Amino acid sequence: MKIGIVGAAGRMGRMLIAAVQAAEGAALAGGVEAADHSEMGADLGRLAGGEAAGVALTSDPRALFDTSDAIIDFTVPTATAAHAVLAGETGTVLVIGTTGLDAEHQAAIGAAAANAPIIQAANFSVGVNVLLGLVEKAASVLPDIYDIEILDMHHHHKVDAPSGTALALGHAAASGRGVKLDDVACKARDGIIGARPKGEIGIATLRGGDVVGDHTVIYAGPGERVEIAHKAASREIFAGGAVRAAMWGCSQQPGIYSMKDVLGF
């Protein structure tokens, strides 16, 4: 199966290259970056810190979509929306790990899904997807006297906040309580804010150092506190899950799928 990487010279892109090379039954179709990237023309295998792959970094995403069975995209929202259009035109499987998407970006993805299988997830770690299930279940069991708070910490290079994973955890907790996250979320607190409203789901964001991704969901009740956490030590867990999703997507019909579909949850 031929898998291409967009944003191939970034930190996550390099991890994805290595993950494709390591996956049985997968072959590296190519990788693209902006035309003025300093690594343009570099061998992708060398770029990822391994042996030469015989495939160079290019700047033509359309050509990559034309020659790939699947594309993995962990870039930025505007680029992802453009790549979704290409997926819809070519019928290529598109795996999206980009976060910070707005309604317009999501609309482009939805339109592409009419013609191509699209697997979209806030986090491609198997452990995080188990966490999502646990968070929803705990929220459904614990009464709303238990206050729910979500703590999200990432490295200082991350540009969006809260993280896509933190928002996914918030949606899971809200689903467990039978409410919509947008109706109960609190993403910032400052000054004299008064008592915490019953049923609120708080999301706090921390950024610093080289933290790959730490997420903790806290259920604070009378006399006790329940905490469920996931700490990522390497981006390899995201890369491996994304490659798994790409290979799974090649046998699917057009539509939007989640990592829960890939894992059979």
Which member of 154, 171, 215, 230 is catalytic? 154
Pair 222, 145: CB distance under 8 Å:
yes
Q: Report the C-alpha gap between 126 and 138 in whole angstroms.
A: 19
Q: Report the C-alpha gap between 67 and 92 in whole angstroms.
A: 9
Please return the burial class of 18, using the count of CB atoms within 10 Å of its CB with bins 0-12, 13-18 and 19+. buried
Examine the residue annotation and report whether 154 is marked as an active-site residue of this protein: yes
- Taking CA atoms, 261 is separated from 46, 120, 252, 265, in Å, by 33, 10, 11, 6
Q: Which two structure tokens, joined as six digits, stand for 99?
A: 């976060």
Pair 34, 6: CB distance under 8 Å:
no
Tell me how far the alpha carbon of residue 134 is from its chain's centroid.
19
Examine the residue annotation and report whether 158 is marked as an active-site residue of this protein: yes
Amino acid found at 258: S
Kindly list the catalytic residues.
Answer: 154, 158
